[in-house]
Structure 1
């Protein structure tokens, strides 16, 4: 029996430490996020596919499901 991924994550701003609960998209990675408190824009740490994998309480849905994430070079579409 496969469980559904958790879609809400507590995202912590790496600049000011503010925590906001954000609903993660299931069809795209979030590479940039603006803090609602300090307005700083942050991106994933090297090696992570999205801001949720770097700064969230829950990893992104593709990582939760052990699927290739859009941030991995293997799953990125050729342009």
Structure 2
């Protein structure tokens, strides 16, 4: 996603966590603003989709929250 900021990812994660909490608290449906002027209604039947969105945005927050730089795994340097 081009231009994605940590603040945006955190805001999206917060929205999906709020949707999950509302449905877990007994609400049958919850409306979430997906973009300015655009909304989506989710229902209890969408619980798996809500969880996928939480996982997605949590991963993005973790990626964007890193200190930057390149992570290299499984490389051994020999003198």
Q: Same fold judged by TM-score > 0.5?
A: no
Query: TM range, normalised to the smaller chain?
Result: under 0.3
Of the two, which has the highest radius of gyration?
Answer: 2
TM-score scaled by structure 2? 0.27
TM-score scaled by structure 1? 0.27
Higher helix share: 2
Higher RCO structure, 1 or 2 (CA under 8 Å, sep 6+): 2
